[in-house]
Amino acid sequence: MSKVVSLEEALKFVKDGTTVMIPGFMGAGTPETLVDGLVEKNVKDLFLICTDTARPNVGIGKLIVNGQIKKLYASHIGTNPETGRMMNEGLIDVTLIPQGTLAERIRAGGAGLGGFLTPTGVGTVVEEGKQKMAFDGKEYLLEMPLRAEVALIRGTKVDKKGNVWYNAATRNFNTHMATAADIVIVEARELVEVGEIDPNNVMTPGIFVDYIVKGE
Amino acid sequence: MDIRERIAKRVAKDFEDGDIVNLGIGMPTLVANYIPEGIEVILQSENGFVRMGPVPEEGKEDPDVVNAGGLPVTVLEGAAYFDSATSFGIIRGGHVDATVLGALQVDQEGNLANWMIPGKLVPGMGGAMDLVVGAKKVILAMEHTAKGKPKILKSCSLPLTAKKEVDMIVTEMGVFEITPGGMYLREIAPDTTVEKIQEVTEAEFIVDENLKVMED
């Protein structure tokens, strides 16, 4: 069975209320074609897990502006004033998570770990409601794994078996989100034949990828 | 000399050859312009690479190579890219020698508040909480006051970024070091006096017996 599908076919897995992970750092590494497809489809009440909400007209920012997000986990929302406004008006339920903790929670979610201990956030509001543990005089917070129903990732080069190579700083949250969702859809900037990516250079093994959409 | 330039220049003198350094957004970014000759500092960008270089020439921007603020940068020879979990492993794991950040408030215990003003400004902590906890040395590069009001306090009133992690504060008036034995004024700018510093500093500090002049 071919993993390469149309945009429409791939996005049928994202419905009203679906939990979605989308990578990208101010848009770098974000699957723009898939995001534009979601804006077009106008699915609502999404629970979005991402590191930042970019700018209003960039990447993930477009989903915010279009009013499609009900719940948001992110580390930074300051560059998109719409996120802050909607949070203050009670339209989006925002949880801010330290970036390293967010990355590790996703990694744990994909790696079968029950959680992990981090010193980040001790003595701050981040520790509220979390179990604290001390070892050798140092305090840690117990952080739990994160998973999603769907991850939308973006590869620079993707072969038809779903093996992915990411260019430069676009890797960011892609590799871990690709392991932490029930359905993983990759947008290929460049779709290549199997064998064109040297197995040594595969960053996301194709076994994690369910569907491939050619990016525009 | 512009005060931002003075602060950045002084911070840059603190690095040792081979240090791995993470610079925050804003004034801390300027520090990169003043690294003394003969000293190699390896800049880490928390969105996923080391050996960050300067801003590219106009027309040579690569959308895949951006800094943590989403702005185009370059990478130097010997650079390496990685994913976000690895990036924060580098940060929390003690592999970063120094991080330079701005502050809304800092206190004499080394507590830092720089990520939110309740009800007003909630941009999120991004990677700041991980950086402040994980870096071997935490340096604040900040203006001494905010519209004439002290920012160096007895105790922070804003939500903390981290507890007791700040090591050094560099302002246009002087250089402070925070030690278990108290906060010390180590250097003083040539155009001020200890009395003037005391007037705009709420925190209690000890004047170093060998107080040095902060060079421009």
Cross-strand bridge partners of residue A159: A192
Mean pLDDT, residues B12-30: 94
Decide yes or no: CATH 3.30.70.890 for domain A7-111+137-214: no
B216 pLDDT higher than 80: no
CB contact (8 A) between residue A75 and residue B126 = yes
pLDDT of residue B25: 85
pLDDT tens for A202-216 read: 999 999 999 999 998
- In this prediction, residue B120 carries a pLDDT of 85
For this structure, is B204 an active site residue?
no
For the segment A61-70, what is each residue's pLDDT rounded down to a tens digit? 999 999 999 9
Tell me the mean pLDDT in the region A146-158: 98
pLDDT at residue B215, rounded to an integer: 82
Mean pLDDT within B122-148: 97
pLDDT at site B121: 83
Section A151-166 average pLDDT: 98
ipTM: 0.96
Q: B49, A126: Cβ pair inside 8 Å? A: no
Contact A101 B85 (CB under 8 A): no
What's the CATH code, domain B3-213? 3.40.1080.10
- Tell me the pLDDT of chain A averaged across its residues: 97
Residue A1: the pLDDT is: 80
| Tens digit of each residue's pLDDT (9 = 90 or more) over A167-201 | 999 999 999 999 999 999 999 999 999 999 999 99
B83 touches chain A (CB under 8 A): yes
Which of A64, A76, A175 should we substitute to test contact with B (largest number of B Cβ atoms within 10 Å)?
A76
Give the other-Cβ count within 10 Å of A40's Cβ. 12
Per-domain boundaries in chain A = 7-111+137-214
Task: Calculate mean pLDDT across residues A26-41.
Answer: 97
Q: Measured between beta carbons, which residues in chain A are less than 8 angstroms from residue B83?
A: 103, 171-176, 203
The fraction of chain B above a pLDDT of 70, given in percent, is: 100
B45, B85, B161: residue with CB nearest A124: B161
Q: Where are the domains of chain B?
A: 3-213
Place of tokens 């690895």: B86
List, for residues B103-123, the tens digit of each pLDDT value: 999 999 999 999 999 988 889
A172 with B83: Cβ contact below 8 A: yes
Chain A partners of B162 at a C-beta cutoff of 8 Å?
Answer: 122-124
